[in-house]
Amino acid sequence: MTETVAVNLTMMLLSASLGVNIAFWCMVGMIRFISEIGSPSKIGGRSAIGISDVAVVIPAHNEEIALPKCIKALTAVIPARQIYVASDGSRDRTVAIARAHGCRVLDIQPNAGKAKAIDKAIRNYRLCDRYEAVLIQDADSEIDQHYFEHALPLFNDPKVAVVAGHVLSRWRDQRRLGMDMLYAAYRTRLYRILQTAFQYGQSWKWTNVSYIAPGFASVYRTSALRQIDITAPGLVIEDFNMTFEVQHKRLGRVAYSPKARCWSEDPFSLNDYRKQVQRWYLGFWQTVWRHGFWPSRFWLSLGGLLAELLVISIFALSLPFAALLYLVTSLEMPAISLSELAMRPVSPLGLLVLFLAFDYTLTIVVSIIECRPSLLVYGVAFPVIRLLDAALFLRALFKSFSAKSDGRWISPERYAGIVSIGR
């Protein structure tokens, strides 16, 4: 009985979280946090790069609903003349809205894709010659008023090439519960776990193995940006590739501060969520194949994560079917006995129960940290979304061997009502 419990717990911990990697990077993050207590190099202080040295590039495709909120948040901390909107084939009022707010606007016709829009704005306005840093921000994001206070001082380290922003899900009406907020609730938990566990530990100066500076709001030093191939052909998204370029070409560190925050709008329909996640995963796998393997700490970390995610995705998808089969036939699953280093049969139904219990425990913890009791309600559906993510992850892997893209995009449905971006 004890042995069965031990096996079950081992399998549960490997499957219900993100496995060994998340435990390892949590430990690294804790060491970083402790080591930086009282350190003069801790985040904050004056920056050699000031607000006047920063340009903002906003690629936008039919964003008349989201763009005003994005620009309003930006102009509270940076002059409108330093904001450059790259309207990529927009057919709505995107261009007019950007001009009305005093931003510089590049009206690209026909649309060429997000990556090309970013590259055209940088080249057309000679941003790498005129500024020390460029913030690339999505049109559906709202920057925190203290973002630059926490992001720019990180560039005091000359080895920092890019600062990755801290993403927060934008919550709409908090007075009601609805299916349209399910994916924002799920992302709230996901972002908290991934950024606390992975981004914080992987962006430490002694590790420097971050594989993503998210495209929603990350700042690039222009001396590094000059050397990045933003428009690599065939990729559906650009931010994974840009981060891999920094790592592969050894352009510098990817730094991160959890206080450099920006709110992003998540999909509120299943179809938009599926399309967005599929694009993310496909772009990730395409980037992995494009850059290939090179001996480095970066690939040691990435390779371990890839192997684990593949195993966990397959295991998570097979677990409900195995549990159903067990109810019909009493057929058990093989699992590794850690004490005997041998295979032992275990109940898949028990594993499924442990999977769900641990998953909901994560929701409880994040609900307390985020001060959002509604997560406890939405959390009941999170395991289903995780299974969808696992299926899309594996589907993207197979699709990545043949899928090519010209980078053109379609913006998801936007919310035009009142939103809440604070607690």
Tell me, what's the pLDDT at 13?
Answer: 46
Residue 408, pLDDT score: 64
Q: Is the CB of residue 163 less than 8 Å from the CB of residue 218?
A: yes
Q: Which residues of the chain have pLDDT under 50?
A: 1-18, 41-44, 418-420, 423
Tokens of 17: 């979280």
202 CB-side CA count, 13 A: 26
- Which H, E and C letters describe the chain, residue by residue? CHHHHHHHHHHHHHHHCCCHHHHHHHHHHHHHHHHCCCCCCCCCCCCCCCHHHEEEEEEECCCCCCHHHHHHHHHCCCCHHHEEEEEECCCCCHHHHHHHCCCEEEEECCCCCHHHHHHHHHHHCCHHHHCCEEEEECCCEEECCCHHHHHHHHHHCCCEEEEEEEEEECECCCCCCCHHHHHHHHHHHHHHHHHHHHHHHHCCCCCCCCCCCCCCEEEEEHHHHCCCCCCCCCCCCCHHHHHHHHHHCCCCEEEEEEEEEEEECCCCCHHHHHHHHHHHHHHHHHHHHHHCCCCCHHHHHHHHHHHHHHHHHHHHHHHHHHHHHHHHHCCCEEEEECCCCEEEEECHHHHHHHHHHHHHHHHHHHHHHHCCCCHHHHHHHHHHHHHHHHHHHHHHHHHCCCCCCCCCCCCCCCCCCCCECCC
Q: Whole-model pTM?
A: 0.88
Domains of the chain by start residue, with CATH: 2-18+302-399 (no CATH), 48-270 (3.90.550.10)
pLDDT tens, position by position, 110-163: 888 899 999 999 999 999 999 999 999 999 999 999 999 999 999 999 999 999
Residue 338, beta-bridge partner list = none
- Residue 398 identity: F
